[in-house]
Chain A
Amino acid sequence: DVKVTQSSRYLVKRTGEKVFLECVQDMDHENMFWYRQDPGLGLRLIYFSYDVKMKEKGDIPEGYSVSREKKERFSLILESASTNQTSMYLCASSLTGSNYGYTFGSGTRLTVV
């Protein structure tokens, strides 16, 4: 069974901390994505990557960075966590091509206090 695995289901961090969210996929997908999901706003794209060491900004990249050193791993980094980054974070991966679906991880519920 193909999988996208996010390292933590729940995370509580303090304001100003550096936070790492890890995502690993075992499907040899080229593309990986980080979204955040907030009530009433739907999923919003933070960053995505089409290849190793490659990254592109999504719609809301401010306050975030990413790293993709290996094809299967895509990390989201909050350089200095703030309370407005409290959210559900979802990682996804896909093959290249317009009609391939996305496989999502189970999400990480991050609370910044």
Chain B
Amino acid sequence: KNQVEQSPQSLIILEGKNCTLQCNYTVSPFSNLRWYKQDTGRGPVSLTIMTFSENTKSNGRYTATLDADTKQSSLHITASQLSDSASYICVVSAGRGGGNKLTFGTGTQLKVEL
């Protein structure tokens, strides 16, 4: 069964600090891995998409890494801001071609405080 596990479940950090969120998956055949940011009461917004051959991708202060051998990904947030407070969801796509199936993690709830 395809699964995506995220840790920690929730996290509180001070503004300006860095943090790293983890994602472990058991999805086959692997197609790509995505990180989404979801503000409270809103839909998820894509941060990064990484394929099998990519091991790092950045989007501003967000940097995602992928280790396809160990089936792990991380999302690193640098110099956090209050607006980073949100749920961060790891999503893994399985399959080939256009028939990919997405498996969603349950998210890490991040709160950035003053």
- A interface residues, Cβ below 8 angstroms from B: 4, 9, 31, 40-45, 50, 90, 92, 96-99, 101-107, 109
The count of chain B contact residues (Cβ–Cβ below 8 Å) is: 25
- B104's partner among A43, A97, A101, A103 (CB-CB below 8 A) is A43
Chain A interface mostly: loop
- B41's partner among A101, A104, A105, A109 (CB-CB below 8 A) is A109
Shortest beta-carbon distance from A59 to chain B in Å: 9
A99 close to B32 (CB less than 8 A): yes
A90 close to B44 (CB less than 8 A): yes
Q: Report the bound CA distance from A102 to B34 in whole Å.
A: 10
**B residues within 8 A CB of A96?**
98
B82 at the interface (CB under 8 A from A): no
- B interface residues, Cβ below 8 angstroms from A: 4, 31-32, 34, 36, 41-46, 49, 51, 89, 93, 95-98, 100, 102, 104-107
A98 close to B32 (CB less than 8 A): yes
**B residues within 8 A CB of A102?**
44, 46, 102
**A residues within 8 A CB of B100?**
98
* Interface-centre pick from B44, B51, B96 (highest chain A CB count, 10 A): B44
- B89's partner among A41, A42, A97 (CB-CB below 8 A) is A42
21 contacts across the A-B interface (CB closer than 8 A): A4-B43, A31-B98, A43-B44, A43-B89, A45-B102, A90-B44, A98-B31, A98-B32, A98-B98, A99-B51, A101-B34, A101-B46, A101-B49, A102-B44, A102-B46, A104-B36, A104-B44, A106-B43, A107-B41, A107-B43, A109-B41
